[in-house]
Structure 1
């Protein structure tokens, strides 16, 4: 039980090697938090719809995303603001129009999986 932290070493175990395997699988807390944050972005149906649309359509404007998802422009803007703050998307200005695209490769991989399952 070489991976068990000292503060938990007095707990009763049944399969010590499995405990170490489980601890190794969990990994560093900051990695777990980063993945939990990614999944929380995907947990909202509106944000997930936006991300799926962005993933398939490439750089696209807010009003076009609103039309594609059936959301209001303000709701799309608010969701994109959150996604941008999380580092999932970026906007690129083209005159007065801002087109958004996915920049988080891990989220893009999850979206590929969603699209595969949907077909």
Structure 2
């Protein structure tokens, strides 16, 4: 059981090979944490709606997102601030208007798979 961490090596396995495959499948704990945080962003229906709208419409302004999703301008701005801090969207300023687009290939991939089903 070469992949079992030392602190768990004393525990008995039924199938050592399967345990090692399971550990390999889990991968790096930091990667698991990053995916968990990403899924946490997507777990909110409002944020998910915003991301789906941004993905479909391309660069889009806050007021247009609010109109499209039925979420208030203030709530859209707050959600976009969180999504921007997480690296899911980016903002581009055109004069006085700020337009948002997806910036994360991971988010784009997840949304593509979501809408394909």
TM-score (norm 2): 0.99
Aligned to 2:90: 90
Aligned to 2:42: 42
| Count of matched residue pairs | 117
TM-align CA RMSD: 0.5
Query: How does 1:15-34 map onto structure 2 within 5 Å?
Result: 15-34=15-34
- How far has the Cα of 1:114 moved from its partner? 1.1
Q: Distance in 2 between matches of 1:101 and 1:37?
A: 20
5+ long unaligned stretches in structure 1: none
5+ long unaligned stretches in structure 2: none
After superposition, the C-alpha distances for 1:49-105 in whole angstroms (9 at most, x for unaligned) are 000000010000000000000000000000000000001101000000000000000
TM-score (norm 1): 0.97
Determine whether 1:99 maps to 2:99: yes
Aligned to 1:6: 6
Determine whether 1:112 maps to 2:76: no
